[in-house]
Amino acid sequence: MTASTSVDLNAKIPNNIGLAHDTKLRRALEKWLPNYLEWWNDMGPTDFADKPVYLRTAVSVSTDGWAHYEHVKMPDYRWGIFLNPRDPSESQIRCGDDAGKPAWHEVPGEYRNALRRIIVTQADTEPASVEQQRLLGHMAPSLYDMRNLFQVNVEEGRHLWAMVYLLHKYFGRDGRDEADELLNRRSGDPDKPRILGAFNQPCDHWLSFFAFTMFTDRDGKYQLAALAESGFDPLARTTEFMLTEEAHHLFVGQTGLQRIIQRTAQLEKLDPNGDVRAQGGIDFDLIQRTINYWFTYSLDLFGGEVSNNAADFFGSGLKGRFREMKKYDDHKAITGTYRLPHVEGGVLVDKDIPLRNAMNAVLRDEYITDCERALRKWNKVLEQEGVSRRLTLPNPRFHRHQGIYAGHHFNPEGELISADEFEANQPKWLLVPADNEYLISIMKPVYEPGKFANWIAPPTRGIEGQPAEFEYVKLHD
């Protein structure tokens, strides 16, 4: 089935996949819809269901105007299923042993389990982040920021629909069971946690929210981009459109942290002793600890630096590198190595590993480069504010729970240290409960249009050209 740019907006489930003509699939998804809405009502943003929010809703998959903006109550949001259009005859396997051959339009039997695992793992992240952020509306620093939070939330919900469509359409009974389980797991639940560690961490204040959307959603960008190179054509086209929406999530995180950094610089200069907390702000050391915390948990999402699964996924054409067709000439990667420091005998020793086995590390390197660009922008703000402090990314070996560095201890510079030294310095390097308590104490909601909390600077412009005093969320209707 070829996805087109035409979207059926009047359907119970808006889509451009011809759902009206696939009775079995339509009935299955319409049966899943009330379960999804029950999950949303239980685990989505609390206490704001009846408030109109200025939301962006997909109405097309064409590049000349795919979104419509209007005030919508979140439970009424038109979650839909959208695939990027592509002529099936032009789709090809983009990487691995069969690179250049026609893409698959059905699931190859030999890759069924691997593809289901990939899709379920990606799908599980979408509702998890909504669960992590469900209480943040109660401490929103402005209506502008509240609206951005809710926009991220509803689009994560739509991304769940995108993955559930694939499970229902292509994986039969197993896929339907997996789709049901996506609504049964809960972020941080000791008995039924989400699959990936970062999505079980608490995100209970706005500094973590901005860091999450900056670092963890940015991991999502690279995972989706790798899946957009998949030889399974429906997965590739689904994730291509998801990337269109994901860009806003990264914008929210990057600019949100930048606005906090700018305000911190202003408050530091305002206080006679340079004491940001005395002015009710967020000090630079706390910002740096937050960067360290979420950046390193996000690195774990790439998986092990040396991975047989990554080699198999690439070799089979299931998952490519970032912009595989644009950045690389050799799409088979049979030869070549990747140099990586290993811990041996208490010291770091460089080793060359086969390139295919290092595909997680290759994708992670692209991610780190992207994060470094954001850090340069933040530090440019500090330079413009006349502040000497600079923010940094910790070494990728620091604070790792997955891969070859898990079980070892490093300082933020990447130097091997003892467990005792790490434990003693953890309050200096990473978020601790006392940090969260302080942050929650200063994060009182600001619900007056055009007003912002003291600890964050206003944005340089509004959403879709709206003025600063625009009522992004109508709390009093």
Question: Could you tell me where the DSSP H helices lie in 283-403?
Answer: 284-300, 308-316, 324-327, 359-384
Looking at residue 392, its pLDDT comes to: 98
Q: What is the DSSP string of 132-188?
A: HTTTGGGG-S-HHHHHHHHHHHHHHHHHHHHHHHHHHHHSHHHHHHHHHHHTT--TT
Residues of the chain above pLDDT 70, percent = 97
pLDDT of residue 363: 98
Query: Of the candidates 270, 203, 264, 219, which has an alpha carbon nearest to the alpha carbon of residue 391?
Result: 264
pTM of the model: 0.96
Average pLDDT score over residue span 95-106: 96
Q: Evaluate if residue 311 carries a pLDDT over 70.
A: yes
Residues comprising the chain, all counted: 477
Tokens found for residue 380:
């440019």
Amino acid 2: pLDDT: 52
The band of 476, judged by pLDDT with boundaries at 50, 70 and 90, is confident
pLDDT at 63: 67
Confidence band, pLDDT 50/70/90 cuts, at residue 418: very high
pLDDT at 397 over 90: yes
Whole-number Å distance between alpha carbons of 220 and 135: 22
Instruction: Confirm if 319 and 296 have CB atoms less than 8 A apart.
Output: no
Rounded to an integer, what is the distance from CA 220 to the centroid of its chain? 4
**Binning pLDDT at 50, 70 and 90, where does residue 8 land?**
confident
Q: What is the pLDDT of residue 65?
A: 67
Percent of the chain with pLDDT over 90: 92
Residue 4: its pLDDT value, please?
A: 58
Give the SS3 label for residue 350: strand
The burial class, CB within 10 Å (0-12 / 13-18 / 19+), for 305 is buried
Mean of the per-residue pLDDT values of the chain? 95
- pLDDT exceeds cutoff 90 at 253: yes
Q: Report the amino acid identity of residue 420.
A: D
- Res 207 pLDDT > 90: yes
pLDDT (tens digit per residue) in 318-359: 999 999 999 999 999 999 999 999 999 999 999 999 999 999
Per the CB < 8 A criterion, the answer to whether 282 and 264 are in contact is yes
Q: Is the pLDDT reported for residue 3 higher than 70?
A: no
**What number is the average pLDDT over the span 100-112?**
96
Q: Which amino acid is at 394?
A: P
List pLDDT tens digits, range 138-183: 999 999 999 999 999 999 999 999 999 999 999 999 999 999 999 9
Q: Write the burial class of residue 184 (CB in 10 Å: 0-12 exposed, 13-18 middle, 19+ buried).
A: exposed
* 68 three-class SS: strand
Judge whether 192 and 185 are in contact, CB under 8 Å.
Answer: yes
What are the residue ranges spanned by the domains of the chain?
19-465
Fold of 19-465: Ribonucleotide Reductase, subunit A (1.10.620)
* pLDDT band with cut points at 50, 70 and 90 for residue 1: very low
The pLDDT score that the predictor gives to residue 176 is 97
| Tokens coding 388 | 């000497």
